[in-house]
Amino acid sequence: MPTIGRLLTAMVTPFTKDGDVDYSRAGDLAKKIILDGSDGLVIGGTTGEAPAMSDEEKLNLYSAVKNAVGVNGVVIAGTTDNNTIKSIELSREAEKIGVDGLLLTVPAYNKPTQGGLLQHFEKITSSVSIPGILYNVPSRTSLNMELKTTLKLSKIPNIIGIKEASSDLDQINYIIKNTDQDFNIWSGNDNETFSIVSTGGYGVVSVAGNIISTQVKKMIGLILEGNIEFAAKEHLRLLPLFNALFFITNPIPIRYAINRSGFDVGPSRLPMIPSSEELGDFSKKFDPIIDQYQIDL
């Protein structure tokens, strides 16, 4: 099993002007992100606009990105939703393609019980042999995966960690405290990476990694070296950008930032296209902040 590194970037999906997935451009972006310092890529997640893509498009995208990065970076495929049977089918197909792992997202909309969550993830992970990373993101799913549920799931051999985006630092710290060393906790929010890694978390699944992998990796490295003072300074330097990337709904800001840098990833797909008025209001706040950082893709 390949090593799943500390810095995983939740990659934007490039689209053509006609709205088709641009697989060639996706490969180019993937290679740039890995070259800048990311250890791997999460493909087909929220930032990749997976809800607006067909299963066929997702599978073709997993393949294109894995072929592009080869052994230089791992590819984690977002294959799960609130339909357990469909999640198993897509996960099996992604495994056949050769992805390195799966992102196992807490189901949205149907709001299962904690017992239902356990069975959902047990069924999916027992159907594949590649590792899975749980993803708890209550702001998107309206459901928090509770500490006791995460601890039970952490005992399943091919569930190797969790992307925690609950912003409940007590819950996250108790996961860190009460799981084995081989169960890794990735921050699900860039602005919480410093806090989580400093208290024993493993890394981050980063939106900002699309444009500043080098800087995010540097900050994590400083923490691991015990240089907390300089890591904190780097965190505070990057914090305005981390927060700006969520001025409006992700992935609208990060796609805007990539395109603004000169690397064309095309427009979003509906419904992730703001009105011209909304985009204008956003850019007035966002542009002065992003101009403070060296972003050259």
Residues annotated catalytic, as ranges: 135, 163
Name the residue among 264, 46, 52 with its Cα closest to residue 255. Answer: 264
Distance (Å, whole) CA 223 – CA 203: 10
Name the amino acid, one letter, at 60: N
Are the C-beta atoms of 216 and 6 separated by less than 8 Å? no
Percent of residues in the chain assigned helix, strand, coil, to nearest 5: 50, 15, 35
Distance (Å, whole) CA 279 – CA 275: 6
Q: How many CA atoms lie within 13 Å of 185's alpha carbon, on the beta-carbon side?
A: 30
Cβ-Cβ contacts under 8 Å for 59 (sequence gap 6 or more): 90, 93, 94, 97
Tokens of 253: 């800001």
Are the C-beta atoms of 207 and 241 separated by less than 8 Å? no
Residue in the block written with tokens 């495929």: 77
